[in-house]
Amino acid sequence: MLKHKNRSVWAIWSLMIISCFCYSANGYQNFDVAIYCRAQEVQHMAEPNWLKDRWDVIAHQVKVDKVYLETHRDVILVDEETITKARQFFESRGVKVAGGITYTISESNRFKTFCYTNPEQRQKAREIAEHTARLFDEVILDDFFFTNCKCESCIKAKGNKSWTQFRLDLMEEAARELIVKPAKAVNPKVKMVIKYPNWYEHYQGCGYNLEAEPKIFDGIYTGTETRDPVYTDQHLQQYQSYLIFRFLENVKPGGNGGGWVDTGAMRYMDRYAEQLWLSLFAKAPEITLFDFRRMLQPIRQELRADWHGTQTSFDFDQMMLPIKRQDGTLITPSTMARPAGYALEQVDVFLDKLGKPIAVMSYKPYHSTGEDFLHNFLGMCGIPIDLVPNFPAEANMVFLAESAKFDDTIVDKIKGQLMDGKTVMITSGLLRALQGRGIEDIVELRYTDRKDVTNKFWHRRAFWSRRGATYESSTKIVIPQIKYLTNDSWEEISCLTSGIGYPILHSADYANSRLYVLTIPDNFGDLYNLPAEVLTQIKEVLMQDLYVRVDSPSQVALFTYDNDTFIVESFLPEPVDVGIVVTKKISGLRDILTGEVLSASAAPPGRQMFGRQGRAVGDRVTFNAQIKPHSYRVFKCE
């Protein structure tokens, strides 16, 4: 689905070697860019000067292929005449136009959405869909097509169902009967797209039906905004901007139209760029910038971080350089459209070099929850994860978090993999959930109520010398104690405290393979406190089928592609030295952006590596590299 346009070598070089961005009417080479316009702004667009003054500011700083013109939000309904004038404005400038709907009553009142058991509001929802489908051949629903209503009517209609089941059923019916059918009745050509928000672990609770709706709608779209991981109330990890796009692409292959990012909640400007980049590393064919109003907000100087000016991937000082237009005039960056444009230019020069994303497969059943959003923490530890909604029986390694408990037959599926000689790693949370559900048939482990508080870790077989080694983290972490039967299963990595230890990584042989159990700290954030050596040992097992691994502290992520190309991206505020371990025969590693060819570091004497089931692994080469703060490097094996 990725758009590949022809471009000359000169075009690549000009982007790489000149310091200012040459504005041209042509879009980016590898993706489309859309700007979403809320009803609050669209209602002013009939006034030509109001629109032209603002649009010029945006379009001089970022290349825009398309706009979404919203017809409804918070009970503001934009009339046909206004939409028609706005459409003419954009189309006369070669900008594509699509419609948007936000089904909110009051966004500022805890996201008050429509009540879908209220006959008047149902009728209103239907009329908005018809009105919009009459005006556009493509309509996207912003991510408020859910219900959190607990009015008396909804309580009565819920009956004995859980809120989750009631809302899943209600919204599936509403999607079909109030939105898509009426829209298609007035415009059979209309493409109806549902955009999903960033809270994928909790969709079902408010009726987002990821199983049924992608079949009802022509397309889906992904909210890839993650904002600040610490201070926002969602605490989403940066890796999620990549993972959620891949997950939804796996839900509707070829049908995930793009990633959607806003400018909210950041402490430094890189955070905005990272969200755009990660959506594109996941191969989003389109990026939607939310929104028209925010693209006009002034650039805040306080978002310039300490590391800016040191040629990091997003360099604030470079971003602020004047933009040269085709007629030779210079535009000074002024609003948030420019950081967007600058960030997109940085990655457009190499996205076509990336193959198909590959990663460790992890199964998350529809409407499941458990160890919420955990996969993103592993992504931030350098373990690439591809979430899939159906069990990936073909994968040689499957990782399962607690959410897999929603599959009633999950133990049989794990057994099936082990019988087939494939490996499975489950979390301590899933182990707990499967106690009494048959996991004992594979191995008798006990997830206890007791805790271990420690900062010492021990690996039985040291990485280089096969002697034991102890590693310390700077902070103590709290883990659940898992008990096992002597000589029946084995501690691979242990936590040590008060003269005793408990498993962090545990393994048990079964049939033709091995089940691993990864102990998850009570606070997922403590995964970031695991020593780099411990992370390496976990990666050794989990990433055994990938051709590359990065040995580093946490918060350095890896994005792998099937054409021997990969990206290493650091989210740390200081430079980090990493070891890139490539497990195939290669002559060198080329940095695609600088042209530098890295040579292999000398292998330590007597080093012998073993993979799954103790198999000796073939060629392994280690390269040393440094990654700047909040920066990525793109490598190609040669």
Give the nearer residue to Zn ion in terms of CB position, either 177 or 345: 177
Would you tell me how many other CB atoms lie within 10 Å of the CB of residue 30?
A: 22
Q: How far is the CB of 578 from Zn ion (least distance, A)?
A: 52
Residues 386, 394: contact at Cβ < 8 Å?
Answer: no
Distance CA 381, CA 492 (A): 19
Q: Using the minimum distance from each CB to Zn ion, give the nearer residue, 118 or 622.
A: 118
Cα separation, 248 vs 386, in Å, equals: 10
CA atoms within 13 A on the CB side of 30: 20
**175 vs 411, which CB is nearer to Zn ion?**
175
Rounded Cα distance between 425 and 431, Å, is 10
CA-CA distance, 431 to 450, in Å (whole number)? 15
Provide the minimum distance between the beta carbon of 121 and Zn ion in the complex, in angstroms, as a whole number.
Answer: 8
Q: How far apart are CA 531 and CA 519, in angstroms?
A: 15
For residue 433, give the H/E element and its range. helix 428-434
**Residue with the two structure tokens 């190499």:** 350
Residue whose CB is less far from Zn ion, 35 or 149: 149
Nearer to Zn ion, 170 or 361 (CB): 170
- By the criterion CB under 5 A, which residues form the site for Zn ion? 115, 149, 151, 153-154
CB of 129 to Zn ion, least distance (A): 19
- How many angstroms separate the Cα of 453 from the Cα of each of 159, 239, 526? 45, 27, 11
User: Do 360 and 543 contact (CB within 8 A), yes or no?
Assistant: yes
Using only the alpha carbons of the chain, give its radius of gyration. 26
CA torsion sign for 152, 158, 160, 164 is negative
CB 356 within 8 A of CB 216: no
Among 152, 141, 148, CA closest to 113: 148
The least CB distance from residue 111 to Zn ion, in Å, is 14
Neighbours of 277 (CB within 10 A): 26
CB of 149 to Zn ion, least distance (A): 3
In the complex, least distance from residue 172 CB atom to Zn ion, rounded to whole angstroms: 17
Write down the least CB distance from residue 145 to Zn ion, Å: 15
Of the pair 36, 116, the CB lying nearest Zn ion is at 116
- Separation between Cα atoms, residue 413 and residue 366, nearest integer Å: 16
Q: Which lies closer to Zn ion via its Cβ, residue 151 or residue 453?
A: 151
Angle between helices 337-348 and 270-281 (to 10 degrees): 40
Cβ closest to Zn ion, residue 178 vs residue 580: 178
**Sign for the pseudo-dihedral over CA of 374, 376, 379, 383:** positive
From residue 20, alpha-carbon distances to 328, 335, 338, 555, 593 in Å are 12, 16, 12, 31, 17
**Of the two residues 83 and 178, which places its CB atom closer to Zn ion in the complex?**
178
Cβ proximity to Zn ion: between 115 and 548 the closer is: 115
CB of 73 to Zn ion, least distance (A): 19
Minimum gap (Å) between residue 141 Cβ and Zn ion: 19
Shortest Cβ 117–Zn ion spacing (Å)? 5
Other Cβ atoms within 10 Å of 313 Cβ, number? 21
Q: How far is the CB of 114 from Zn ion (least distance, A)?
A: 9
Give 307's strand partners: none
Of 18 and 151, CB closest to Zn ion: 151
State the residue for tokens 């994968």: 395
